[in-house]
Amino acid sequence: AQSVAQPEDQVNVAEGNPLTVKCTYSVSGNPYLFWYVQYPNRGLQFLLKYITGDNLVKGSYGFEAEFNKSQTSFHLKKPSALVSDSALYFCAVRDDTDKLIFGTGTRLQVFP
């Protein structure tokens, strides 16, 4: 069965520093991977997705994600963090029934 794992409950980073939010996946076929962000008491917003092609995917708000097939990872990155990036981030994978399977989420805290 398809699954994603987000090994860190929380990531802390200083404003201006690069950030990485980790995600690893397990799929039986081609992986279709997604990142969403959730601000407090709000719904999720789509950031980016990997379907095929270039391993570096660029998304909204300056975020990008690197697909690594050998390490089965899809880490979310940003070169310079902003305080406003503080939120809950979810990695997700498409399952066999064409539905999204979400990870448990990683809370990103960016300190001024």
Beta bridge partners of 36: 46, 90
- 61 makes contact with another protein (CB under 8 A): no
Residues 6+ apart with CB under 8 A from 17: 80, 81
Q: Could you give the string, one character per residue 82-101, with x where binding to another protein holds by CB under 8 A and - elsewhere?
A: --------x---x---xxx-
Smaller CB separation from another protein, 28 or 41: 41
Smaller CB separation from another protein, 31 or 78: 31
Number of chain residues interacting with another protein (CB under 8 A): 19
**Phi, psi of 104, rounded to the nearest 5 degrees:** -80, -10
Picking from 58, 17, 38, the residue whose alpha carbon sits closest to that of residue 107 is 38
Alpha-carbon dihedral sign for residues 108, 39, 100, 64: negative
Q: Could you give the string, one character per residue 13-52, with x where binding to another protein holds by CB under 8 A and - elsewhere?
A: -------------------x--------xxxxxx--x-x-
Three-state secondary-structure class, residue 75: strand
Binding site for another protein (CB under 8 A): 9, 32, 41-46, 49, 51, 90, 94, 98-100, 102-105
